[in-house]
Amino acid sequence: MIGSGGREHALSWKLSQSTKVDTVFTAPGNGGTLNNVSIDVNDLDGLADFAQKNNCFTVVGPEDPLAAGIVDKFNKKNLKVFGPSQKAAQLESSKIWAKDFMKRNDIPTARFEIFENAQKAIEYVKSLDYNVVVKADGLAAGKGVIVCNSNDEAISAIQTILVKKTFGDAGNRIIIEERIDGIEASYIALSDGDVAIPMASSQDHKRIFDNDEGPNTGGMGAYSPTPIIDDSLAKIIQEQIIEKTIHAMKAEGILFKGFLYAGIMIRDGKPFVLEYNVRMGDPECQPITMRMDFDLFDYFVASVDGNLSSLPPALWKSQSAVCVVLASKGYPESYSKNDEITGFDSVPDGAMVFHAGTKKSDGKIFSNGGRVMGVTALGDTLNSAIKNAYAASEKISWSHKFNRKDIGQKGLSYL
């Protein structure tokens, strides 16, 4: 398993339950993952050497090594690896590539224009009678997207990305697109290049504070399933977005294998793609994984081998799952590290503590990042899953612990 977040801890936990898996190694892993190997996610040669020596089937968690071509490199060495090729990963690594792809394949997304020149971008914004979102083209650790409430905000966003170069070369070109006001949800599928099996639906909570206030983060909590995506909407998203994407990629000569994540905005019952990711969502992965009633390893192997359609349908626990992210105060800006974390022994059975920004030293666990862990629990209803996840979260403590208090409430209020 390549990566060090809560997503990777959750996937490793699930894979380690497979009778076909002897050992899960995690590179570089965190304070909760087993068999950590200290190789950086961007050291592709080091990872390939390790995989070769240890006869590994490799699963790539985060986007950076995918965008750098880890799958192509492993394939050249005949190493089995789950995830999309570098070309397929362009759906995430270049937002402009993804927007052009959606436009030419008639996949629903916000209308947009592309700019390199700040003056032209500003003139364009002034000519519009709707609000916009300004996006840096390249990977910017989830920060290169500025949602604007006025022309002035849009102009300052253009300057931040194109003139001040706050996101470096990722901001050499920008997208200016219509702001779509609606309800946001995550739709993730697993593909072998031909067919795509939907994962359970989920909803993230991207803002730092309750009621979706404050700056965007990597995600402060998630739950699955979400009532926002009912069966008929799921069918529309599956057919008109996911399958259309996989088939159009294939028609363009690119097999998309791996997790395809569509960030969806629903306005007036109609879904629009805000972004693609070419990996599992984090923290969506944690509740989704807890609801899996199948051997995930089989599905990863079938994705790589191109025979997903030969597997039985993926079964899901009917229960809800909720993940509450425990962060360090100050995240997503500056925060302290190296606080000792206690209380793990008091977490009730059944709840899972998926580590993210933690490290282990002398048998103790210390904070080591902004999002520190995701406490995840099942429940017969969304309401009971929320209660179980918060009851478990309260057992964990450290001096700068911070978490949202309203994870899952968006789903309850929708119900």
Buried-state track 31-51, b at ≥16 Cβ within 10 A, e below 16:
bbbeebbebebebbeebbebb
Closest CB to ligand GLY among residues 121, 287: 287
Residue 284 touches which of ligand GLY, ligand AMP, none (Cβ within 5-8 Å per kind):
ligand GLY
State the Cα–Cα distance between residues 409 and 411, nearest whole angstrom: 5
Residue 282 touches which of ligand AMP, ligand GLY, none (Cβ within 5-8 Å per kind):
ligand GLY
Contacts 24+ apart (CB under 8 A), 94-102: 94/137, 94/138, 95/135, 95/136, 95/137, 95/138, 95/175, 95/275, 96/137, 96/173, 96/175, 98/275, 98/276, 99/175, 99/177, 101/248, 101/249, 101/252, 102/273
Residue 140 touches which of ligand GLY, ligand AMP, none (Cβ within 5-8 Å per kind):
none
Candidate list 8, 275, 282, 284; residue touching ligand AMP; CB under 6 A: 275
The DSSP-derived string for 189-228 is EEEESS-EEEPPPBEE--EEEGGGEEEE-S-SEEEES-TT
- As measured in angstroms, the least distance from the Cβ of 142 to ligand AMP is 6
Closest CB to ligand AMP among residues 276, 300: 276
Residue 184 interacts with ligand AMP (CB under 6 A)?
Answer: yes
| Interface size with ligand AMP, residues (CB under 6 A) | 15
- As measured in angstroms, the least distance from the Cβ of 276 to ligand AMP is 9
- As measured in angstroms, the least distance from the Cβ of 282 to ligand GLY is 5
Residue 64 interacts with ligand AMP (CB under 6 A)?
Answer: no
Candidate list 15, 24, 39, 180; residue touching ligand AMP; CB under 6 A: 180
- As measured in angstroms, the least distance from the Cβ of 90 to ligand GLY is 16
Q: What does the radius of gyration of the chain's CA atoms come to, in whole angstroms?
A: 21
Q: At what angle do helices 296-305 and 6-15 cross, to 10 degrees?
A: 100
State the Cα–Cα distance between residues 355 and 413, nearest whole angstrom: 29
Asked if 108 and 241 touch (Cβ cutoff 8 Å), the reply is: yes
Residue 157 interacts with ligand AMP (CB under 6 A)?
Answer: no
Q: What are phi and psi of 313, to 5 degrees?
A: -55, 145
Candidate list 177, 282, 295, 339; residue touching ligand AMP; CB under 6 A: 177
Residue 63 touches which of ligand AMP, ligand GLY, none (Cβ within 5-8 Å per kind):
none
Q: Choose one: 6-14, 39-47, 177-185, 380-388; the region binding ligand AMP (CB under 6 A).
A: 177-185
- As measured in angstroms, the least distance from the Cβ of 95 to ligand AMP is 7
Asked if 361 and 343 touch (Cβ cutoff 8 Å), the reply is: no
Q: Contact positions toward ligand AMP, by CB under 6 A?
A: 110, 133, 142, 145, 147, 177, 179-180, 184, 206, 216, 263, 265, 274-275
